[in-house]
Amino acid sequence: MTDRESWQLCCPVILEDNFERIQLAHGEGARASRRLIEEVILPRFGPAREFSDAASVDTSVGRLAIATDSHTVSPLFFPGGDIGTLSIYGTVNDLAVSGAVPRWLTLSLIIEEGLPVRVLERILDSAAQAAVECAVEVVTGDTKVVPRGAADGLFVNTTGIGELVASAPAGPSAVREGDQVIVSGPIGSHGIAVLCARGQFAFETTPVSDSASVLHSVRALLNAAGDNVRCVRDATRGGVSAVLHEWAAVAECTFELTDAYVPVTDDVRGACELLGLDPLYVANEGTFVVTVAPDAAAEALAALRGVSQSHEAAIIGTVRARGICPVTSIRALGTAQPVDEPSGAPLPRIC
Amino acid sequence: MTDRESWQLCCPVILEDNFERIQLAHGEGARASRRLIEEVILPRFGPAREFSDAASVDTSVGRLAIATDSHTVSPLFFPGGDIGTLSIYGTVNDLAVSGAVPRWLTLSLIIEEGLPVRVLERILDSAAQAAVECAVEVVTGDTKVVPRGAADGLFVNTTGIGELVASAPAGPSAVREGDQVIVSGPIGSHGIAVLCARGQFAFETTPVSDSASVLHSVRALLNAAGDNVRCVRDATRGGVSAVLHEWAAVAECTFELTDAYVPVTDDVRGACELLGLDPLYVANEGTFVVTVAPDAAAEALAALRGVSQSHEAAIIGTVRARGICPVTSIRALGTAQPVDEPSGAPLPRIC
């Protein structure tokens, strides 16, 4: 046993200079914490900003939108993203679909003791890059470290504050018979990408997550169709089906989809068929659903297709008077079949 | 085996009607999630408020303070509080010591599968009561459920937004030689209370956590001493020592404490002596440190003592020109001894 090893055995708490893996001391608000924050976290989010108890910001408008999301995705890395990008885009998207301009984010980490610091650094790099891309500022944060086994790797909470500069979509209560339903792109890729990343399945081509900011697409949509946009929602957990069921419950209508119009990539469709999943229930992280007045549907679609992130947007259905089922889909044979509300998710821990 | 049992074995995902323990389905954004939110969470935080993707709020001022904190305390309940009260007070206090009026909170839960729902309900009840007491509104939230073993019971993130209506304390760079150091009450009780709640130690009298809102005390302080208040900080992880070390690093001064002036209750002192801990390093959750100009110290102290939460406030030291050590304490024999910066914490997972 070297001197250093024996010293480590005596003093496990103050080991932070062995800075390869996260240790409990990194979460305890003292010197090791300060080092983690100053050396690993702050440099990625701008040296001007101190992670003090509370950050202060100036807002130019009086109306704010606030969203929060804790991310527990497993594994931490997947084709098309990681928990860092997911945490930024997820909260930015929640603000964007509410019609807000995302401005400030908080970033709170719950780290399992033993996480390699280079893994954390890679994730923070992704997060920082995504924040720059979305023009949001990470203004404050928090770091907790829990002992091995008390958390699984890393959980990340982001809370976002946006400014409501223009009028936001009215919401599902404004939905009317005849309104058109649009999705901003092919559905189901995030859930399938995460599932594949777990290594339990091997497909010839691995689907890539759609994890991305929807800011530009939503802005283009609202600029083009304005007040004719009834509601917008990113179709995360529970997929498109969960969004439509929530809206149908408020609007007391039936959303009638046409199966053939729903965009699904070949690899996602193939994986779903093998696994017995319906893409309508699978989570997305950069794809959203819109209900829009019939007159504005073509304009809305064109606006979405003009943005690369949503160039495969499609009209997938129509709002009908409330029938027996809140959501139906016209399948291949031309008959409308119920799309049940998902109860649980087929795929846990996808975000 | 009953029919119900066999059905449960076949369909573990849609078991949410057996609503005694949290199941994975409660975190998946679909029907079970909706039920958890509508039946368990929303009723406690006001039915008027929907937990939509983003809440919108109106602010009457242009300058905001933002704070975030993830709470991982173990165990979830301890003498004087639980993770629910801690989550509200923790973030409210971060805003309060920044001179802000806390207005809105987000509440994000990471729940381990299997947590009894009545435990969650008890915690949410505490949190809701604490929010009412602090006059903050919980405006939006998020719920994730992770499989057994992937998290330890429950983690709670709260992010708070406050309005900066008056001028905030200038911060540690304003600290000058001769300034007085005040603590708002006896120190170290939170850390010791949590430690005792783990059941590893049994003392004759169990210390009770100081977990509480510091809003009224900070307001009284700022009203009484105004611009003469240099800086305020709640002494959470790392205790009073961590706060003074942070300030000393910025102010390039030495904080000289007098050991005999530092208020510590008999039960905390007794427990610390037995465990070999110094109360200066033990976490507080409702006790804060102030540095104030010498002329305003008496007034500041009187104002703090006029509020029940801080009626045992005391002047504990003086700011000196920078000596060898950033923080020293005059011990019983009259000699100043160094108070080291804590590296890690003696007590992990206390908040």
- Domain ranges (residues) in chain B: 53-163, 172-338
Amino acid A322: pLDDT: 96
CATH architecture of A172-338: Alpha-Beta Complex (3.90)
Residue from A42, A139, A100 nearest B63 by CA:
A139
Inspect the interface and report whether the beta carbons of A33 and B237 lie closer than 8 Å: yes
Mean pLDDT computed over A128-147: 92
Which SS3 state, helix, strand or coil, does residue B155 take?
A: strand
CA pair distance B53, B44, nearest whole angstrom: 19
**Do B94 and A14 lie within an 8 Å CB cutoff?**
no
Instruction: Specify the CATH class of A53-163 in words.
Output: alpha beta
pLDDT at position A285: 97
Amino acid at the residue B309: Q
Question: B202 versus A138: which is more confidently predicted?
Answer: A138
Cβ B193 vs Cβ B78: under 8 Å = yes
Chain B residue at shortest CA distance from A17 = B343
DSSP per-residue string spanning A180-243: EEEESS--SHHHHHHHHHTTS---SS---------HHHHHHHHHHHGGGEEEEEE--TTHHHHH
- For helices A266-275 and A189-197, the axis angle rounded to 10 degrees is 60
Please tell me the predicted confidence (pLDDT) of residue B10.
29
Which of A29, A56, A108 is nearest residue B345 as measured by Cβ atoms? Answer: A29
Residues of chain B with pLDDT under 50: 1-16, 47-51
DSSP B37: I
The percentage of residues in chain A with a pLDDT greater than 70, rounded to a whole number, is: 90
Tell me if B159 and A62 make a contact (CB, 8 A cut-off): no
Rg of chain A's alpha carbons, rounded to an integer? 22
Q: Quick check: A68 and B234 CB within 8 A?
A: no
CB pair distance less than 8 Å for A64 and B72: no
Q: How confident is the model at residue A284 (pLDDT cuts 50, 70, 90)?
A: very high
Does any CB of chain A come closer than 8 Å to the CB of residue B159? yes
Residue in A68, A139, A236 nearest the CB of B29: A236
Q: Is A70 close to B341, i.e. CB distance below 8 A?
A: no
Q: Cβ of B141 and A53 within 8 Å? A: no
Q: Who has greater pLDDT, A214 or B340?
A: A214
Confirm or reject contact between A18 and chain B (CB < 8 A): no
Average pLDDT over chain A reads 88
Kindly report the pTM of this predicted structure: 0.90
**Test mutation, A22, A28, A190, chain B, max B CBs within 10 A:** A28
pLDDT at A166: 78
| Residue B162 at interface with chain A, using a CB cutoff of 8 Å | yes
Query: What's the number of CA atoms in the CB half-sphere (13 Å) around residue B300?
Result: 28
Residue B199 contacts A where some CB pair is shorter than 8 Å: no
Nearest CA in chain B to A59: B62
* Nearest-CB residue to B344 (from A14, A164, A345): A14
Mutate to test the interface with B, among A51, A159, A340 (most CBs of B within 10 A): A159
The verdict on a CB contact (< 8 Å) between A66 and B140 is: yes
Considering only CB atoms, which chain B residues are within 8 Å of A59? 59, 62-64
Which of B106, B147, B233 has the CB atom closest to A68's CB atom? B106
A2 contacts chain B (CB < 8 A): no
Name chain B contacts of A238, Cβ cutoff 8 Å.
28-30, 33
Q: Cα distance from B155 to chain A (closest Cα, Å)?
A: 9
**Mutate: best of B57, B63, B70, B232, partner A, most A CBs <10 A:** B70
Q: Is residue A6 over pLDDT 60?
A: no
pLDDT of B1 reads 31
Residue A202: partners with Cβ closer than 8 Å, 6 or more residues away = A196
Alpha-carbon distance values, A316 to A207, A320, B62 (Å) = 22, 13, 42
DSSP secondary structure letter of residue B40:
I
Partner A contacted by B44 (CB < 8 A): no
Q: Which residue has the higher pLDDT, B223 or A347?
A: B223
pLDDT at B52: 54
- pLDDT digit string (tens) for A23-72? 877 877 667 777 887 888 877 876 444 445 667 777 777 889 999 999 99
Res A55: pLDDT: 72
Q: How far is A242 from chain B (nearest CA, A)?
A: 6
A139 CB within 8 Å of a chain B CB: yes
- Tokens describing residue B308: 């029940």
Candidate from A2-6, A12-16, B23-27 with smallest mean pLDDT: A2-6
Q: A302-325, pLDDT tens digit by residue?
A: 999 999 999 999 999 999 999 999
Task: Please state, for a pLDDT cut of 90, what percent of chain A lies above it.
Answer: 66
pLDDT, greater one: A332 or B152: B152
Distance of alpha carbon B146 from alpha carbon A342, whole angstroms: 18
Q: Contact A339/A270 with Cβ under 8 angstroms?
A: no
Q: What is the pLDDT of residue B53?
A: 61
Q: Which residues of A touch B32 (CB under 8 A)?
A: 343-344
Task: Identify all chain B residues contacting A234, using CB atoms and an 8 Å cutoff.
Answer: 53
The pLDDT of residue A148 is above 70: yes
